[in-house]
Amino acid sequence: MADTTNTVTDLADLQDLGAASNGGDDAGEATVNTPRVSTMPLREQIIDAQGRAYATGRRKDAVARVWIKPGSGKVVVNGREQESYFARPTLRLVINQPFQVAEREGQYDVIATVKGGGLSGQAGAVKHGISQALTKYEPALRAAVKAAGFLTRDSRTVERKKYGRAKARRSFQFSKR
């Protein structure tokens, strides 16, 4: 009878243990023992009575409230179409990044209300909100969206103006006389 208890004291024992569990054959192929992964996501799907996922996104001074639901890919920001609200193509590109990373372009409708900040901050806030809402609607996408860095709130804000300075860091012009 083989000993069923395995104690590991260093990495060499761990390698021996892996070879023993593979049947002990080292025929030139490196086999990797992967733990059994359940298909159940670690988090639950969070949707409201209308079948939408809600999240709040923030960037600079902008705050976006975002709802997503399955649809044709229409994005409405403050009651206006995405093309009319964010006229610059780079801002529209920023908003669609979470869908591209998750490979879900054109599958969700987005309704967002944004307040505060400028257009760039608002686009970043909508992107953050879409990313959060997407992971609430499809928890399996969390790993891909998080790896892209879209779930982390970008905390950089404008530095405040200091007393005795023209701006945050700029001094007043020096005058010799």
Query: So what's the pLDDT on residue 120?
Result: 95
pLDDT 10s digits, 83-136: 999 999 999 999 999 999 999 999 999 999 999 999 999 999 999 999 999 999
Please identify which residue in the block is written with the tokens 């010799």: 176
Q: Is the pLDDT of residue 66 over 70?
A: yes
Tell me which fold the domain 53-146 belongs to: Ribosomal Protein S5; domain 2 (3.30.230)
Range of weakest confidence among 10-19, 115-124, 153-162: 10-19
| Listed residue (67, 153, 51, 135) closest to 75, CA to CA | 67
